Structure 1
Amino acid sequence: MSGFPLQYPPGRELTGGDLLAQSLKHLGVEVAFGLHGGHLDAFLMGCENIGIRLVDSRHETAAVQAAEGYCRVSTKPVVAFVTANSGFSNGFPGLATAYGDRSPILCITSSPPLRDTENNALQGMIDQVVAARPVTKFAHRVVAPEECPRIVSHALRVAQSGPPGPVLLDFPIDVLFTPVHAKLIAWGSISSPRSYLPGPHEEAIEAAAELLATAKRPVIITGTGSRNARQGILQLAEACNVPVFGTSKFASFTPKSAMLASATAGVLATLPLVHLPRPDLILLLGTRTGMFLGGRSHAIIPEQDCKLVHVDCDGGEVGRTLSTDLGIVSDVGVFASSLNKKLGNSPEVQVDKSWVQALLNLSSAESPYEKDPEQTSSGRLHPYHAVEHVMSSIEPGSIIVLDGGEASVWAGDLSSRCQPSLVMTATGYLGCLGNGFGYALGAAIGAPERKVVNIQGDGSAGFHLMELDTYKRFNLNILTVVINNSRWGMSINGQDLVYGSDHLARPVSSLSSGTRYDIVAEGLQNETARLDHIADIKSTVSRLQSKTGPGCIDLIVDHKPVHPITTAMVGLTDDPNSVVVPYYDNIPRSYYKS
């Protein structure tokens, strides 16, 4: 036998659901996030018997996003489970986000019995495999219980190899409940050793070393594709005096290093404003060009006088947006190890150390809002000061999850104040609000030794606030902070910028000023507080984080001033021959004004 010893449940036959659960356990799965559905009972009983921890959320979208959050903090494979059709439809946004953000999760769903295909059966109207294919790397319906080991091991390899991403397996209910014929089990490669990660060509390493040797102002920018390569990257950075920046989407701050910036790569856009030269070499490691790196504006990655080395496991991402001087298809960890070996203990570099230090110091520069009054003319708290007090009070080493529009960027700017271990922007490339509830859930399960802080705007909080109940049922150390300005802040401020702030009503951009998120959270058994005085913030945050279990703060702030990122994204211009396209690059008029 090339598989694993079967474990027969006491008092009943081994079913397809049991074999599925045991296959997952053998492949390293320890946790599955989801929501109950009777179609999945045979699988859920199999998980219980074999020791896979089941974490049930209040909504399927949050369950799939919890699997995403888990894989951001853990190297172990992870599963999300959603029931047939209704659960699948609710979980679909999570799959789409995972696909956009390259999260290697396995989603398990079920469907009506095979004999009821096209029979208008309960929860059988949507062909889930067909629907899932555009947003997964692999989607397949398993039609025999004995095929579980072979298909599951294949699906997980697909999810984790090359550019990572979600996969989906559909198990008709009769396949899960049918007893297994042991002699017919298709083991596939479930017990095969793990494949080696892809590595760079020797000539590519030589070319990268040559570019690094001649650079005076090199910078490393890391993304989610480098999260398991931190040690090698920091070794390279320290040997060559190259500062390392994460992106606003994903910034890891462990292990610590003198070359690891506390700001994200967005700070590179401010160099002309502070009269510092821009980089002459950027090593882009495991992160994609596009919205999180300034798009085609070249605000972060210069267009002129800067070489770009792009390392990614997906060759299709190299050169997708920007001209690349050296593209390398490789796992980032293998690349860093190979380059470190090539450079040796005494690499020849010409780095301007004073420029490097000035760049690293930028993150500690005083904010332009520091001298603003702590309360605005409306009587509400200034968002900068309120969020600064929150961030300064969070336990060092916490995991910060950012969600919402302006709320997330105010918090992202100030996140370094608490010396976090990791900062994740949950909205991702799809811009889905509310993801942070699932991300925080997954992070808390995947890294139970750390506190998790779930930052929400009051808009994004409305999507999955019931997950506070999940946090309490599992007694997770998650502090949710709702930055409450009674508006869709980025929406209304964007409308004001484009159409003028003349106090006219703005369509579909206001929320109720009377909503009490703290009272809702109290009803869900979270420790709570409502804060509208600056003097109360630090002590309250410290008190809530010191308790075991979840907490929620309703932080009352003003929607003004407009955060600079909103102004930048709207892209107003005095050029009469440009059409302002908010949140994207402006376009030229089809006709010119004289």
Structure 2
Amino acid sequence: MPDFQPQIPSGREFHGGDLLAQTLKHLGVEVAFGLHGGHLDAFLLGADEIGIKLVDTRHETVAIQAAEGYAKVSGKVGCCFVTANSGFANGLAGLATAFADRSPIFCITSSPPLQDAETNALQGFHDQVVVAKPITKFCHRVTNVEEIPRIVAYAFRSANSGIKGPVLIDFPIDVLFTPPQVSRISYGAVSVPPAYAAAPDPAALDALIKAWNKAKRPVIITGTGARGTDKELTKLAETTRTPVFYSNKFSSPIPPNHELRGGAATRLAAFAGGNSQPDFVLLFAARTGFLLGDRSGAIIPNKNCTLAQVDLDGSEIGKSLPVEIGIVSDVGLFCDALLEKKSNISVARNEDWIRDCKDHKGTLSAYVDQGKVMSDGQLHPYLAHDAVMRALPKDSIVMIDGGEAGQWSGMTVEAAEPKVAMVATGYLGHLGNGWGYSLGAAVADPSRLVVNMHGDGSAGFHIQELDTFARFGLNILTIIANNYVWGMSVNGQDLLYEGKSKSRPAIQLSKQCKYEIVAQGFNCDGEIVTEYDKIKPTVARMSKSGKPGLINLIVSTKPTTPATMSMVGMTDDKNVIVVPYYNNVPRPFYKDSTEKTNGHA
């Protein structure tokens, strides 16, 4: 007999919704994010009575993103609920992001009664399982109330085992409102302990140590999968004398002031093109792709460098770059196993390399010489962001959203010495995620300030969640770097069309929009800051208020961030086609200096 036994409520009938809520509670769910729908009432009532905290948002996408943010910060499965079809459709953006970023979330939805299939019933047009399957790790419709615990436990383990990701279960409304026959309940794996994680092959470790020992400029680059390896990774870095950088999706577990913390991996681009690039790179639960410079060689060198990769997903190893040593393993077990062989590790300490990595991280950059105020009278975006970061409480959680605003935040976030910093846009480049991520993070860790960084573009996606922040009394400070335009868009167009066209279509935002007044209307603190000397005192004061707040920080559109210039990839080479934000491609014909094409004048 399993140790999970249903609790029959007194004074009312026991429903499928109770069985769902009690199963989730037994599996460790403490909070669920969502938006009300009558289809879900049986579950919501059961969840409330069993002690699951319900955090209701103003939009379903944010509910799913909040579950994702909660999962990233807590290390647990994030739980969310969206109502049938309309709510489900609104939540698809959140599911897509969670799937691309491998976030373990459990999404509950509902649908019309089974008997009403294909009758044009209320909120019953789309087959939600069919729609969600391509962007979930597991998706299923429960048709028998007694099978709820078995299916829920299976989905829960699927979300949080191996390659993590979102799962979605559709509970038709009649299933949720149907009383189960207790003697027929199928428990499945409800009380089965988690499976043991995968450990590395000893022969692979020997090969890795041999290559590592030869390195003069080694680096470790961590990804989201490194979450929770603070002690293990720090000890590994110290044993191998290797600086640690991080993919900007999730900051490094290495302590902020540690001599081996190198900051964001994008900073390695400063070494590109010379003889000082890394000669050994270990991707530590980090995926290759645009967040690590694609195949350009700017971050991960494409020559004279040994590339090793540790990941639970064997198919990810060598996906876009030639990996010489691939190891399929849980990263915590990898650290433990490698350290057991520490007597074989003899990586020479390179003082110059360690200093270069550390100095590079701490440099304020050439922007200091450009002045705090630009020619348009607005604040320098880099220096304004730097001032914000230096005024924040240490060990805050910083969520970074937006295009160029997000890039300025990413370049300066190390000055905040954050407990966690992550770029919320992820692999989809999905603007607006920061609202949900911040909500989930604040619920997961109410002891810290959560900083919700935005541009005025990304801020507009879900600014109504300020109401949610206020209703639940969450310690979240939203900062909007406001330059009245879609910054990356206008600066990208400037690079592409300078001297060719004066048109800058579809990039203007409103100078009349008072975000600080919007915040006040949602019962949050709100202030506008236009002067550099007002940044630090305003941030410091609002960080300590204990009430959600918003700062409307007015900044200039210039200069363009280095990342935008790099991604647009402008060149005078007549033989390539500039493809903004991707690698340029060769022209399908050769064009020489005499304008001959394909051999013809």
> Secondary structure of 1:17's match?
helix
**CA shift at 1:560, angstroms?**
1.0
**CA shift at 1:206, angstroms?**
1.4
Instruction: Check whether the contact 2:309–2:325 (CA below 8 A) recurs between aligned residues.
Output: yes
Closer, same or farther in 2 for the Cα pair 1:158/1:501, shift >3 Å? farther
What is the rounded CA distance, in whole Å, between the counterparts of 1:517 and 1:503 in structure 2? 32
Q: Deviations over 1:223-242 (max 9, x none)?
A: 00111223211111011111
> Secondary structure of 1:207's match?
helix
Matches within 5 A, 1:353-364: 353-364=351-362
The match for 1:323 is 322
Closer, same or farther in 2 for the Cα pair 1:276/1:267, shift >3 Å? farther
Q: Deviations over 1:452-495 (max 9, x none)?
A: 00001000111000000000000101000011000000001101
The match for 1:177 is 177
> Secondary structure of 1:322's match?
coil
The match for 2:540 is 542
**CA shift at 1:352, angstroms?**
2.1
**CA shift at 1:77, angstroms?**
2.0
- Match 2:399 to one of 395, 398, 401: 401
What is the rounded CA distance, in whole Å, between the counterparts of 2:149 and 2:337 in structure 1? 35
2:414 paired with 1:416: yes
Identity level (%): 53
**Which is further off, 149-158 or 353-362?**
353-362
2:466 paired with 1:436: no
Matches within 5 A, 1:518-529: 518-529=516-527
Q: Deviations over 1:475-527 (max 9, x none)?
A: 10100001100000000110110011678231101111111100111100111
Instruction: Check whether the contact 1:29–1:79 (CA below 8 A) recurs between aligned residues.
Output: yes
**Which is further off, 18-27 or 203-212?**
203-212
| Unpaired segments ≥5 residues, structure 1 | none
Matches within 5 A, 1:109-188: 109-188=109-188
Q: Deviations over 1:409-444 (max 9, x none)?
A: 111111111111111101111111100000000000
Closer, same or farther in 2 for the Cα pair 1:375/1:217, shift >3 Å? same
Q: Deviations over 1:384-427 (max 9, x none)?
A: 22212111111111011000100011111111111111111011
> Secondary structure of 2:429's match?
coil
What is the rounded CA distance, in whole Å, between the counterparts of 2:491 and 2:220 in structure 1? 33
Q: Deviations over 1:196-247 (max 9, x none)?
A: 0111112111111222222221110000011122321111101111111111
Matches within 5 A, 1:186-585: 186-253=186-253, 255=255, 258-272=258-272, 277-344=276-343, 347-500=345-498, 504-585=502-583
What is the rounded CA distance, in whole Å, between the counterparts of 1:311 and 1:584 in structure 2? 26
Equivalenced residue count is 592
Runs ≥4 residues deviating over 3 A: 252-257
**CA shift at 1:258, angstroms?**
2.6
> Secondary structure of 1:132's match?
helix
- Match 1:586 to one of 563, 584, 587: 584
Q: Deviations over 1:32-57 (max 9, x none)?
A: 01000000000001110111111111
What is the rounded CA distance, in whole Å, between the counterparts of 2:258 and 2:438 in structure 1? 28
> Secondary structure of 1:515's match?
coil
TM-score, structure 2 as length reference: 0.97
> Secondary structure of 1:79's match?
strand
Q: Counterpart amino acid of 2:22?
A: Q
Instruction: Check whether the contact 1:218–1:351 (CA below 8 A) recurs between aligned residues.
Output: no
Q: Counterpart amino acid of 2:320?
A: T
Instruction: Check whether the contact 2:244–2:254 (CA below 8 A) recurs between aligned residues.
Output: no
> Secondary structure of 1:251's match?
coil
Q: Counterpart amino acid of 1:335?
A: F
**Which is further off, 241-250 or 80-89?**
241-250
What is the rounded CA distance, in whole Å, between the counterparts of 2:417 and 2:275 in structure 1? 26
> Secondary structure of 1:252's match?
coil
**CA shift at 1:6, angstroms?**
1.6
**CA shift at 1:347, angstroms?**
3.0
**Which is further off, 531-540 or 577-586?**
531-540
Instruction: Check whether the contact 1:81–1:109 (CA below 8 A) recurs between aligned residues.
Output: yes
> Secondary structure of 2:479's match?
strand
What is the rounded CA distance, in whole Å, between the counterparts of 2:348 and 2:68 in structure 1? 41
**CA shift at 1:356, angstroms?**
1.9
**CA shift at 1:3, angstroms?**
4.4
What is the rounded CA distance, in whole Å, between the counterparts of 2:349 and 2:290 in structure 1? 29
Instruction: Check whether the contact 1:30–1:78 (CA below 8 A) recurs between aligned residues.
Output: no
What is the rounded CA distance, in whole Å, between the counterparts of 1:511 and 1:447 in structure 2? 34
Instruction: Check whether the contact 1:242–1:259 (CA below 8 A) recurs between aligned residues.
Output: no
**Which is further off, 5-14 or 445-454?**
5-14
The match for 1:49 is 49
> Secondary structure of 2:321's match?
coil
> Secondary structure of 1:279's match?
coil
Instruction: Check whether the contact 2:424–2:433 (CA below 8 A) recurs between aligned residues.
Output: yes
Q: Counterpart amino acid of 2:450?
A: V
Q: Counterpart amino acid of 1:467?
A: E
Q: Deviations over 1:539-569 (max 9, x none)?
A: 1111111101200000111111111111111
The match for 2:72 is 72
**Which is further off, 86-95 or 73-82?**
73-82
Q: Counterpart amino acid of 2:391?
A: S
**CA shift at 1:280, angstroms?**
1.2
Q: Counterpart amino acid of 2:239?
A: A
What is the rounded CA distance, in whole Å, between the counterparts of 1:16 and 1:300 in structure 2? 52
What is the rounded CA distance, in whole Å, between the counterparts of 1:457 and 1:44 in structure 2? 35
Q: Deviations over 1:255-304 (max 9, x none)?
A: 4563442521111111147x661111111011100011000101111111
Q: Counterpart amino acid of 2:575?
A: N
> Secondary structure of 1:369's match?
helix
What is the rounded CA distance, in whole Å, between the counterparts of 1:366 and 1:555 in structure 2? 20
Closer, same or farther in 2 for the Cα pair 1:591/1:276, shift >3 Å? closer
What is the rounded CA distance, in whole Å, between the counterparts of 1:495 and 1:539 in structure 2? 36
> Secondary structure of 2:346's match?
coil
**CA shift at 1:535, angstroms?**
1.4
> Secondary structure of 1:192's match?
coil
What is the rounded CA distance, in whole Å, between the counterparts of 1:504 and 1:529 in structure 2? 35
Instruction: Check whether the contact 2:14–2:180 (CA below 8 A) recurs between aligned residues.
Output: yes
Q: Counterpart amino acid of 2:152?
A: V
Q: Counterpart amino acid of 2:549?
A: G
The match for 2:597 is none
Instruction: Check whether the contact 1:221–1:247 (CA below 8 A) recurs between aligned residues.
Output: yes
TM-score, structure 1 as length reference: 0.98
**CA shift at 1:382, angstroms?**
1.4
Instruction: Check whether the contact 2:486–2:507 (CA below 8 A) recurs between aligned residues.
Output: yes
Q: Counterpart amino acid of 2:562?
A: P
The match for 2:598 is none
Q: Counterpart amino acid of 1:371?
A: D
- Backbone CA RMSD of aligned residues: 1.4
> Secondary structure of 2:461's match?
helix
Q: Counterpart amino acid of 2:214?
A: T
Instruction: Check whether the contact 1:234–1:257 (CA below 8 A) recurs between aligned residues.
Output: no
What is the rounded CA distance, in whole Å, between the counterparts of 1:262 and 1:418 in structure 2? 14
Instruction: Check whether the contact 1:22–1:50 (CA below 8 A) recurs between aligned residues.
Output: yes
**CA shift at 1:160, angstroms?**
1.2
What is the rounded CA distance, in whole Å, between the counterparts of 2:573 and 2:18 in structure 1? 65
Instruction: Check whether the contact 1:395–1:545 (CA below 8 A) recurs between aligned residues.
Output: yes
Q: Deviations over 1:559-585 (max 9, x none)?
A: 111111111110011110000000000
Instruction: Check whether the contact 1:576–1:593 (CA below 8 A) recurs between aligned residues.
Output: yes
> Secondary structure of 2:266's match?
helix
| Unpaired segments ≥5 residues, structure 2 | 593-601
Instruction: Check whether the contact 1:254–1:421 (CA below 8 A) recurs between aligned residues.
Output: no
What is the rounded CA distance, in whole Å, between the counterparts of 1:257 and 1:529 in structure 2? 32
